[in-house]
Structure 1
Amino acid sequence: MCTMTWFVRDQGYELFFNRDERNSRHRALLPAVTLLAGVQVVAPTDTDAGGTWIAANQFGVTVCLLNHYQFEQIESYKDWTSRGQIVRHFSSAAQVGDVATHFSTLPLSDYRAFRLFVIEPSGANCLCVWDGHAPRIEHNVSSPKSSSSVDASHVKGLRRALFRNLGLAELDSTRAYLAYHASHLPSRSKESVCMHREDASTVSLTHVAVTAEQVQVRYADGAPCKALLGEPVGIARQSLHYDPSIRAFS
């Protein structure tokens, strides 16, 4: 139950992520800077399971998780590992290729179905998909991406149609994208990007802005139709340099 959009700019991008959750889940911790595998990472924390659904690092790489409800495994008895740990696992990646290379090495059968989106400052991205049966990777996918635990095909189709009808694919306007994420079109319901149901709702909006100099994360702690984005949590962006002696980036 989430919606993610992004647009690419010179040497960077902006990404927007609505987190939709059941009312029974606890409030998340606000985004903070942590050090993971020697890399600075900005991420909120899911207080129910300790992981996260979005993380941006000093290289300008952002990793996001969307559940894949329509492909949930049948086994309801399994002691699943939290999918939020996957984001933490890959949040120190220096580039999209690092995640794509190691995705299939995860013990995927320990996780419920998910889609893992990764984007780097060049705009290159990939979507790592685990449908509960076989992994696959889609490269350079287009915005938006969405998930819903109720009537998924219908809801996702409406959100894509709204994105298209607003002409957002041709825009790089922060204001226009924020308006989309706060939208109640076609109605304030399970269908809207800012989602409202009796048992669940949009509980936060995360905005990541990557430039040549820095990585900033702003967070609305509540439904974006009401909650305002807080002050940015920023870190300096570190560029990768190709070292021909080791044929790798450093």
Structure 2
Amino acid sequence: MCTVTFLPTSDGFYLSSNRDEHDSRGLAESPKKYQINGSELVFPKDPDKGGTWFAQKGNGDLAVLLNGAFVNHVKQAPYAKSRGLLLLEILSQHEPDLYFEQADLIRVEPFTLIVFTKGLLFEYRWDGLEKHCALPDPSIPHLWSSATLYEEQAQKTRQQWFRQWQESVGQLSIEKVLDLHRFGGTGDSNNDLVIKRSAQLMSTVSITSVFWRPGQSRMVYVDLKAEIADSDRAISSLTIDHKQDDQAQLKAGLWMGWASRLKRLRIRLLNWEYWPLEIVYLPVLPYWFWLSLKARSLFFFSAANPSIRNAGFAMCRKSSIYDLMSEKHYPKTLLCKSSISIAALTNGLQAKGLNFPLMAKPDMGERGVKVELLRSLAEVCAYLERAKFDFLIQEYIDFEQELGVFYYRIPGESRGHISGIVGKEFLGLTGDGTSTIEMLLIQEDRYFLQLDAIRAIYGKLLKMVLPAGSYYRLLPYGNHSRGAKFIDLSCKVNEELLDTINQVCLGMPDFYYGRLDLKFNSWEELNKGRNFSVIEVNGAASEPTHIYDPKHSIFFAWKEIIRHWRILYQISQINAKSKALELMDARQGMKMILEHKRYSKILLG
């Protein structure tokens, strides 16, 4: 119940589990058939409470249990119900996937439950406060490790050698799968698939593996404790004939995985806004090199914003930019070091007067990565647990509209310019009274690309039908990579708006070039300088994001990129000469790039 693998084959899959328990735990009973709530279930039985960690229903449905949800929780016994008994309760239902959503889990210890039903793979988690549901792709392998036994780094290491094993194993067989679960790892008895932690009196006591194919499955059970005692009951095998034709369900699940991949590929190929940045920027790189040659520095931008580290190109802290601004122009913000304790964080929230919901984001960001909306203290704690980087917690600005305004000011001028405005449509849906949320998402290419992320957040709620005409916002993030639609609103530039933006930017010493992302209540109020908040300022690396409006061609994008690089070059050159600044040399530039590369690995890890 502490390590689980899912390995698809051409005609089925292997679902396997290693059970790690305290050495004092009694020997479990080998798998047998039982009648639970009117359903025939096959499972090895825990002698202490009568539950199980692995079970199969007569129709082919499967469920496997792992202790813990996302992090190693603090036990708060006594609990109302055994998780092993809860597994049997859920799997014995006619529709296990729907029953989980309705089950009362108050005073149940956190757990993760992997369920195969209706040809789909479900990942359910209960963190002690909220239920979470995800739908892993059944066409690719998966490995889960118990959050109570394996720390984040150990889980990453396990995933790494699990991938290496997949590359070398060749055609799967029950023997190879059992070998993986017996000998997989790097020789670390604390974190291999079979563990022996003497200090904790904890070890792997059994392996359960099912080879599932349409119409029939085979369950193999290896009792490692009995094996040590040279018992005849160490290995047992049981063949289970499914009581219904589930071949169509499996094929539907596997086909859905492949069809989804092909659709994503088609969308990305036909819409340049989803192309990798390297592909988008490659044709215009010669112009960057031409500007570098003229400036005698590959990093000709480095004097564009003298008051910001690296001119805001990379490795620049958002908190340092906020420090340059008037507090009235940006949300209330708490800077949190990665080492901050939950007590200090809670005290900081109270001192700042920050109330839920809140926005969390890395102090040094990367295209919306790890930006999250936090609705409770439990979510704050979970974010802190995952964050290996300094981050900001900000008040959530609930203005409905969001913009990106590209601003530049030629040094020596008292008034700047707005070179582009991008409006952002959040990922939201309008119901038609008949389609589920998931059906509506599938119909829209932009939203389909976000489907896996949305499933992980909303789970079975995606089966809900929205009333006709009702609007529901699914993601509150104005990032292109998170499903927001970018619309070129450069036509909205006027003198009043420029006055508003100019006032903000002139308040930041030596700021000449970048993009301001802001939320606002109405255009009329924004033009008057009222009811808006700057949620982020980007420097020399800013993109003119109005290019990502679907109506624009890649040729328009290249033209705008070149135009903004030309402005960046001009500003940096003037500052370098008038302020006697030296442009970044090759050594400094490579140091910045390497630091950014190392930090990106931490951020994306």
TM-score range, shorter chain: 0.7 to 0.9
Where do 5+ consecutive residues of structure 2 fail to align? 249-605
Name the counterpart of 1:23. Answer: 23
Name the counterpart of 2:145. Answer: 146
Of 210-219 and 58-67, deviating more is 210-219
Q: Deviation of residue 13 (structure 1)?
A: 2.0
Higher helix residue share: 2
Report if the CA contact (8 A) 2:52-2:88 is conserved.
yes
Matched residue type, 1:9: T
Name the counterpart of 2:113. Answer: 116
Cα distance in 2 for residues equivalent to 1:73 and 1:44: 26
Report if the CA contact (8 A) 2:223-2:234 is conserved.
yes
Cα distance in 2 for residues equivalent to 1:54 and 1:19: 9
| Structure 1 counterpart SS, 2:183 | coil
The yes-or-no answer on 1:202 pairing with 2:204 is yes
Q: Which of 215, 218, 228 is matched with 2:217 structurally?
A: 215
Report if the CA contact (8 A) 2:33-2:40 is conserved.
yes
What does 1:96-245 align with in structure 2 at a 5 Å threshold? 98-120=95-117, 122=119, 124-140=120-136, 143-167=142-166, 173-174=172-173, 175-183=175-183, 185-198=185-198, 199-222=201-224, 230-240=235-245
Name the counterpart of 1:92. Answer: 92
Cα distance in 2 for residues equivalent to 1:39 and 1:172: 34
Q: What number of residue pairs does the alignment pair up?
A: 238
**Residues 75 and 68 of structure 1: is their aligned pair in 2 closer, same or farther, counting only changes over 3 Å?**
closer
Q: Deviation of residue 225 (structure 1)?
A: 9.6
Name the counterpart of 1:81. Answer: 81
Cα distance in 2 for residues equivalent to 1:214 and 1:173: 17
Cα distance in 2 for residues equivalent to 1:172 and 1:36: 36
**Residues 121 and 43 of structure 1: is their aligned pair in 2 closer, same or farther, counting only changes over 3 Å?**
same
**Residues 45 and 155 of structure 1: is their aligned pair in 2 closer, same or farther, counting only changes over 3 Å?**
same
Cα distance in 2 for residues equivalent to 1:214 and 1:132: 36
Q: Deviation of residue 74 (structure 1)?
A: 4.6
**Residues 50 and 219 of structure 1: is their aligned pair in 2 closer, same or farther, counting only changes over 3 Å?**
same
Name the counterpart of 2:2. Answer: 2
**Residues 75 and 161 of structure 1: is their aligned pair in 2 closer, same or farther, counting only changes over 3 Å?**
closer
Higher strand residue share: 1
Cα distance in 2 for residues equivalent to 1:186 and 1:29: 30
Q: Deviation of residue 184 (structure 1)?
A: 5.4
TM-score by length of 1: 0.83
**Residues 33 and 87 of structure 1: is their aligned pair in 2 closer, same or farther, counting only changes over 3 Å?**
same
Q: Deviation of residue 179 (structure 1)?
A: 2.0
Identity among equivalent positions (%) equals 25
Name the counterpart of 2:57. Answer: 57
**Residues 108 and 162 of structure 1: is their aligned pair in 2 closer, same or farther, counting only changes over 3 Å?**
same
Per-residue CA deviation, residues 189-238 of structure 1 (Å, 9 max, x unaligned), is: 11111111111111000011222232221100116997897232222112
Larger Rg: 2
Report if the CA contact (8 A) 1:215-1:237 is conserved.
yes
**Residues 30 and 165 of structure 1: is their aligned pair in 2 closer, same or farther, counting only changes over 3 Å?**
same
Cα distance in 2 for residues equivalent to 1:149 and 1:188: 18
Report if the CA contact (8 A) 2:4-2:145 is conserved.
yes
Q: CA RMSD in A?
A: 2.9
Cα distance in 2 for residues equivalent to 1:39 and 1:10: 29
| Structure 1 counterpart SS, 2:56 | strand
**Residues 171 and 106 of structure 1: is their aligned pair in 2 closer, same or farther, counting only changes over 3 Å?**
farther
Where do 5+ consecutive residues of structure 1 fail to align? 243-250
